[in-house]
A = this chain, B = another copy of it.
Amino acid sequence: MFKLSKKVEYGLIALRHMALVDTITTAKEIATHYQIPFDLLAKVMQKLAKTKIIISHQGIRGGYKLAGSANNISVMSVIQAIEGHIPGIVQCIDEGLENCSIHQNCTIRDPLHKVQKNLESTFINLKVSEIV
């Protein structure tokens, strides 16, 4: 419960790495350096590339590099890129009210949605550059 996914952790580690080295870097390099499963990291980086957080170069001598400055990348945008959406702390935020079987009787929705907003701004304000 309440855990960041490994994919997000791997993504953050990779981004921090790229923020430091500045040169173009391959997924393989990062995977071996940090002992991260290559296939998994590769897909994470593809997600980050698709949302333009990093820029990819195919072909031999290819790899990835940051698209912009690390202090313009919020951790929330990273999460959203990797997970495909902003994760909700309760089901109804992700799937809509109707999908919760007890939403008719739910009494705790509003306060939890406030917690959600609180949480979101924490991750919006946290930038990759602060991941030291």
Contacts and interface: CB of A to CB of B under 8 A. Distances in A.
A87 B4 CA distance: 11
Contact of A5 (B1, B106, B108): B1
Name which of A35, A106, A108, A110 has the most chain B CB atoms within 10 A of its CB: A108
Contacts of A88: 2-3
Interface in A74-89: 83, 87-89
A107 B36 CA distance: 13
Nearest to A11: B108
Interface residues of A, number: 40
A107 B91 contact: no
Given A115-B126, A126-B115, A107 B16 contact: yes
A102 interface: yes
Given A119-B122, A122-B118, A132 B111 contact: yes
18 contacts: A2-B2, A2-B88, A2-B89, A3-B87, A4-B90, A4-B112, A13-B105, A17-B107, A34-B105, A34-B107, A35-B101, A35-B102, A35-B104, A107-B132, A111-B130, A111-B131, A115-B126, A118-B122
